[in-house]
Chains A and B, each alone.
Chain A
Amino acid sequence: MKRYAYFPGCASESTAKSATLANEFVFGRIGIDLVEIEDWNCCGATSAHTLSSALGLALPARPLARAEADWPELDVVTGCASCYARLKLANHRVRADKSERYMVEKIIGKPYEAKREVLNFLDILSDPAARANIGAALLRRFKNLKAACYYGCLNVRPAEITGAENRENPMAMDEIAALTGAEPVEWGFKTECCGAAHQNDAALEARPLAGRILDNARACGADVILTACPMCQLNLEMRQGEYIRKREEKRTGKARFPLLDMVLPPDPEQAIPVLSITELLAVAMGAGGRRLALDAHFVPVGRLIAGALGGRESEAIL
């Protein structure tokens, strides 16, 4: 059994509910043991470093130092691209620059040598042993399921920090998805930015970023978008109804009161479900819909699963 120190990230406790349940299920099935870092704190995400560079390093360094003290032999893994970027950057800078290490240790009040690696879920699922275990754990096979794998920017960039070889057309998630029978599509927005927190603070300017990703996935024939980050997931899913409504308003010239989005789900003909890669794996490994809280998705996934698994089997899930 392979073990990692686990940094869940704040979204795991709220909006990323179904992805978190799927993570537990999948890693349990493939013999990967995630040891949660004791009393971990928020990494600062996209906000802390925009205010203060010292804070942008110190916040992620604290849980890393804690992991290093408690589990010196374990690499750290996280399921969020933003956490990954911050943790990995802190690790990198502390290693590369003695004065940064001095600063970080002074601020967090703990020794921190950055001895171990920071990894994301795609890294640990792509490990050959893990991939063989995934293959052995699959109970269901998807048919006619075209998937657009969306990596998000911070899982691959900046290259000098992440070490990603291909930042324009990464393939790790495509290869994992293909194990379940899903057919990854070729598309252009694998690592385009979803807008991250700017979907909140610069909504007008950032909406097209998510919209272009959704449009390109549809244009390339995808039935589902797969994600490896709860922030990407939320931006592509929660605001999809609004995006479709605005697009329709533009097309037809008829406006609708925005809060009607509350009661009217996005048009199923136009909406595209968004799942995390671990949710796809969990369903293929036999997890039920209730166990994964699949009904928590903003864009309903029932039709997608029924289409990809056939009637009887999908009934067992939903």
Chain B
Amino acid sequence: MTDHETLARLMADADVRQYDCYQCGKCSGGCPMADAMDLKPRGVMRCAQIGSLGRILNSNTIWLCTGCGACADRCPHDVNVPALIEEARYEAARRGLGRHDSEVLNKAFVANIKAFGRNHEMLLAGLYNVLALKPIQDMASVPHMLKKNLIGIKPNRIGATREIAELIERAEKWDDPMVATGRSQTPEVKK
């Protein structure tokens, strides 16, 4: 698949039409993360217009977007920029470009749910600090949280952990393009 076709697919999946954007910049103006982004939301739309998929996939924007939706909410043409950013993030991960700490955290988070069915905050933070090589991040808060019983060793495990683990595996397979192409394109709708 060429970059051109890939971009078209991302746009279709995100339900975004690049020429709806007339580059007014209201999205970047209201984006709380814009300061830290190397390609601001308006820039993402510009790259989509000129077909520069590579710049989008290699930007830190797709990893720093918080998904707060301020840009889409304020857009005079209802361009859903965060939906496009999300699709771009999936594509970057498929190409192995996701090396941001955000991916480390999200993977640890899902592993956590797979194991317990619910999020175990202490384990997640601990796992993340180790994997991302940030041993002292947030550690100053730990004594208070342990003392006040806000976090603890005991996981809040649910009964159906096996069901959840299988659910996660099925969902991940569903998103895998190799598996998806083998599936019927027109789903049978149950009555």
Interface residues in chain A, defined as those with a beta carbon under 8 Å from any beta carbon in chain B: 10-11, 13-15, 17, 39-42, 44-55, 58-59, 62, 98-99, 101-103, 105-109, 111, 153-154, 157-159, 167, 191-193, 195-198, 200-206, 208-209, 212, 238-239, 241-242, 258-262, 293, 295-296, 298
A195 to B35, CA, bound (A): 13
For chain B, residues 152 to 166, give those with C-beta under 8 angstroms from any C-beta of chain A: 152, 156, 158-160, 163-164
Considering only CB atoms, which chain A residue lies closest to B87 in the complex? A53
Q: Are A14 and B143 in contact (CB under 8 A)?
A: no
For chain B, residues 91 to 140, give those with C-beta under 8 angstroms from any C-beta of chain A: 93, 100-107, 109-110, 112-113, 117-119, 121-122, 125, 128, 132, 134, 136-140
Query: How near does chain A come to B42, taking the closest CB pair, in angstroms?
Result: 18
Query: How near does chain B come to A263, taking the closest CB pair, in angstroms?
Result: 8
Chain B residues lying within 8 Å of A98, measured Cβ to Cβ, are 187, 189
Chain A residues lying within 8 Å of B24, measured Cβ to Cβ, are none
- By DSSP majority rule, is chain B's interface helix, strand, loop, or mixed? helix
Given A41-B113, A50-B106, A62-B167, A14 and B121 contact (CB-CB distance below 8 Å):
yes
Determine if B50 is an interface residue (Cβ-Cβ < 8 Å): no
- By DSSP majority rule, is chain A's interface helix, strand, loop, or mixed? helix
Q: Which of B33, B102, B144, B167 contacts A209 (CB 8 A)?
A: B33
Query: How near does chain B come to A132, taking the closest CB pair, in angstroms?
Result: 32
Chain B residues lying within 8 Å of A239, measured Cβ to Cβ, are 138, 141
Considering only CB atoms, which chain B residue lies closest to A238 in the complex? B141
Given A41-B164, A102-B187, A242 and B72 contact (CB-CB distance below 8 Å):
no
A191 to B164, CA, bound (A): 33
Chain A residues lying within 8 Å of B105, measured Cβ to Cβ, are 47, 197, 200-201
Q: Are A15 and B171 in contact (CB under 8 A)?
A: no
Q: Which of B112, B144, B149 has the most CB of A within 10 A?
A: B144
Q: Are A17 and B149 in contact (CB under 8 A)?
A: yes
A-B contact pairs, 24 of them (CB 8 A): A10-B121, A11-B121, A14-B122, A39-B160, A47-B106, A51-B103, A51-B106, A52-B172, A102-B190, A103-B187, A106-B170, A111-B190, A153-B68, A193-B68, A195-B32, A197-B105, A197-B109, A200-B137, A205-B36, A258-B140, A259-B136, A262-B144, A298-B141, A298-B144
Q: Are B102 and A40 in contact (CB under 8 A)?
A: no
Determine if B174 is an interface residue (Cβ-Cβ < 8 Å): yes
Considering only CB atoms, which chain B residue lies closest to A264 in the complex? B140
Q: Are A202 and B171 in contact (CB under 8 A)?
A: no
Interface residues in chain B, defined as those with a beta carbon under 8 Å from any beta carbon in chain A: 32-33, 35-36, 63-64, 66-70, 72-73, 86, 89-90, 93, 100-107, 109-110, 112-113, 117-119, 121-122, 125, 128, 132, 134, 136-145, 148-152, 156, 158-160, 163-164, 167-168, 170-172, 174-175, 187-190
Q: A42-B118, A158-B73 are in contact. List 10 more A-B contacts (CB 8 A).
A: A44-B110, A50-B86, A53-B86, A53-B90, A55-B168, A195-B32, A201-B105, A209-B32, A262-B141, A262-B142
Q: Are A41 and B158 in contact (CB under 8 A)?
A: yes
A229 to B111, CA, bound (A): 24
Given A48-B109, A58-B171, A205 and B187 contact (CB-CB distance below 8 Å):
no
Q: Are B189 and A17 in contact (CB under 8 A)?
A: no
Chain B residues lying within 8 Å of A159, measured Cβ to Cβ, are 73
Q: Are A52 and B175 in contact (CB under 8 A)?
A: yes
Q: Are A200 and B149 in contact (CB under 8 A)?
A: no
Query: How near does chain A come to B59, taking the closest CB pair, in angstroms?
Result: 13
A153 to B118, CA, bound (A): 23
Chain B residues lying within 8 Å of A293, measured Cβ to Cβ, are 148
Q: Which of B32, B101, B106, B158 has the most CB of A within 10 A?
A: B32
Given A41-B160, A201-B100, A261-B140, A49 and B33 contact (CB-CB distance below 8 Å):
no
Given A10-B156, A17-B148, A107 and B64 contact (CB-CB distance below 8 Å):
no
Q: Are B36 and A202 in contact (CB under 8 A)?
A: yes
Q: Are B174 and A10 in contact (CB under 8 A)?
A: no
Q: Which of B66, B70, B118, B172 contacts A198 (CB 8 A)?
A: B66
A62 to B100, CA, bound (A): 29
Q: Are A47 and B136 in contact (CB under 8 A)?
A: no
